[in-house]
Amino acid sequence: MSNTIAIDPLRTLGRLERNVFGGFAEHLGRCIYGGLYDPNSPHADASGLRTDVLDALKRLNMPVMRYPGGNFVSGYRWRDGVGPKAERPARTELAWHDVEPNTFGTNEFVDFCRRLGTEPYLVVNAGDGDMREARDWLEYCNGTQDTALVKLRRAHGYEAPHGVRYWGIGNEVDGPWQIGYKTPEEYARTYTEFAKVMKWTDPSVKLVASGISAWDASAVERVKLLMEHAAAHIDYLAIHWYVGNDAQRGYRDDDFASYMALSERIEDMLVATEGVLRAMSRALRLGREVAIAVDEWNVWYRTGNEEKLEEVYNLEDALMTGIQLNALIRHARSVKMANLAQVVNVIAPILTRPDGLVLQSIFYPFELYSRFARGVALDVYWAGDTFSTPEHTGLRVLDVAATLDESAKELAVFVVNRSLEAREATLSLGTRASGAKAFVVNGPDIKATNTFEAPDRVGVRETGLEVDGDTLTYTFEPHSVTVLSVALE
Ligand code: AHR
């Protein structure tokens, strides 16, 4: 059977926010210490930041970075991480059972963000922390008047306010694993009180409520309750997901087709969240939409590796990254931020050793999407070959999304071929093109990984393509992620 991909530039789904290509860095394992920050590495600059990691992250072009957790934040005391390093206390840390040295904190993070060209997004402690601590942190960061907290920031060497725009209130409060796990009613109350004082401290901030991380039968009901009690103060509702080719994270253990079919679950999570947010916004006569922030997403197997959460990703995980990004693009109307969890070492596209790093398979689709997805998301029609699994029938082999940047006259089509065979497709572009290029993420087989010994098994190849007016015929390689970048006339 042949495949058809039909683009109509008028069928727009909504503007794609660049913030969907955000990242997330947590005080966990070797993400901060040994990852972003490693004064003992030969790659460290004078401030201890790893320049090789910064260079690799720059390629991912992440516009926003969430920090400092994650589960970690529910026991975090921000004051421990500011001021002279020699005076900063080390603390036992209960989320990941570590000792937190606090030699990297708010100001080091903001410096790192400035170096990277990304915007900081801070999450406050709504676990064992209180609203005073949260509003103090906000004033320390963003305050401009001559208050004690602003003077403290200045004394720490930061005359100008950090101007942190995005603030999350708590992390995964719906999870029993969380310090300060809450019922929706309890969280709505906490959230409202935190939000009030934070907005009074700086009315310009955008606040993110912790929505769904436990995708159980009552997940939607919890969001409904949260909205009922706190909607007026919510700018973004956060949802989290992690997927994997195993029985815990996916439909079944090590089954490629079932793994690729997780697109259905991702779709379900997005549709369910959109549905309850829209219904509640209307019912409450909110007069605006609450945006979705998928502020943690990735592949995560929870393997028992020695270093915490240091997953080694293979090619099929790169395909899964493409599938997740395609879903975010297709839901551009409601998803206004997303954060790859995480950025270095911990479930991350980059793995470091003191003397170097390796770019994992999932690095490449993220890099390409972040580079080419621009402008508006398009509602693409596509049909053709299908596959089935015990859970699903009639799934399209090619998973497709597209964006159009009218000002640059560039169309980008994102295709994951979730089959072990090549698939030919005819693309009708809906408008005349002057040229096209294909960028293909692939490797020898779906289990191929990049390691320090063999760092390039999975990578990107670029080829020029012939376009016939408004039609392009292209054969998608087996098990590949392809970005077709089309220059329009
Ligand atoms: O990203 C790793 C962990 O996953 C985060 O700390 C937590 O929010 C989630 O459960």
For ligand 1, atom 9, which residue shows the shortest CA distance?
70
Ligand 1 centroid distance, CA of 136 (Å): 25
**What confidence score (pLDDT) does residue 382 get?**
93
Residue-wise pLDDT tens digits, 164-214: 999 999 999 999 999 999 999 999 999 999 999 999 999 999 999 999 999
Q: Is 287 buried (19+), middle (13-18) or exposed (0-12) by CB count in 10 A?
A: exposed
Rg, Å, the chain Cα set: 22
Q: What is the mean pLDDT of the chain?
A: 96
- Domain 17-372 fold is TIM Barrel (3.20.20)
Q: Which amino acid is at 148?
A: A
For ligand 1, atom 6, which residue shows the shortest CA distance?
70
Domain ranges of the chain: 17-372, 381-488
Residue 297 CA to residue 305 CA, distance in Å, equals: 20
Residue-wise pLDDT tens digits, 331-370: 999 999 999 999 999 999 999 998 899 999 999 999 999 9
The DSSP secondary structure of 133-178, one letter per residue, reads HHHHHHHHHH--SS-HHHHHHHHTT--S-----EEEE-S-TT-TTS
**What confidence score (pLDDT) does residue 75 get?**
97
The answer to whether 337 touches 22, Cβ cutoff 8 Å, is yes
The DSSP 8-state label assigned to residue 468 in this structure reads B
For ligand 1, atom 4, which residue shows the shortest CA distance?
70
pLDDT values of the chain reduced to their tens digit, one per residue, 489 residues: 689 999 999 999 999 999 999 999 999 999 999 999 999 999 999 999 999 999 999 999 999 999 999 999 999 999 999 999 999 999 999 999 999 999 999 999 999 999 999 999 999 999 999 999 999 999 999 999 999 999 999 999 999 999 999 999 999 999 999 999 999 999 999 999 999 999 999 999 999 999 999 999 999 999 999 999 999 999 999 999 999 999 888 888 999 999 999 999 999 999 999 999 999 999 999 999 999 999 999 999 876 666 789 999 999 999 999 999 999 999 999 999 999 999 999 999 999 998 899 999 999 999 999 999 999 999 999 999 999 999 999 999 999 999 999 999 999 999 999 999 999 999 999 999 999 999 999 999 999 999 999 999 999 999 999 998 999 999 999 999 999 999 999
Q: Taking CB atoms and a 6 Å cutoff, what residues make up the pocket around ligand 1?
A: 26, 69-71, 171-172, 296, 341-342, 347
Q: Under CATH, which number does the domain 381-488 receive?
A: 2.60.40.1180
**What confidence score (pLDDT) does residue 305 get?**
65
Probe target for ligand 1 pocket from 97, 171, 177, 243, with the most ligand atoms within 8 Å of CB? 171
Identify the active-site residue in 100, 133, 296, 367: 296
Q: Is 156 buried (19+), middle (13-18) or exposed (0-12) by CB count in 10 A?
A: middle
The answer to whether 125 touches 73, Cβ cutoff 8 Å, is yes
SS (H, E, C) 42-86: CCECCCCEEHHHHHHHHHHCCCEEEECCCHHHHHCCHHHHCCCHH
For ligand 1, atom 7, which residue shows the shortest CA distance?
70
**What confidence score (pLDDT) does residue 304 get?**
60
Residue 253 CA to residue 246 CA, distance in Å, equals: 4
**What confidence score (pLDDT) does residue 307 get?**
76
Identify the active-site residue in 172, 311, 316, 367: 172
The answer to whether 361 touches 345, Cβ cutoff 8 Å, is no
Residue 261 φ then ψ, to 5°: -75, -5
**What confidence score (pLDDT) does residue 1 get?**
63
Ligand 1 centroid distance, CA of 71 (Å): 6
Ligand 1 centroid distance, CA of 371 (Å): 26
Q: Quick one: how far is CA 352 from the chain centroid?
A: 20
Structure tokens at 312: 């080694």
Residue 167 CA to residue 122 CA, distance in Å, equals: 5
Active site (annotated) includes residue 185: no
Q: Of all atoms in ligand 1, which is nearest to the CA of residue 28?
A: 6
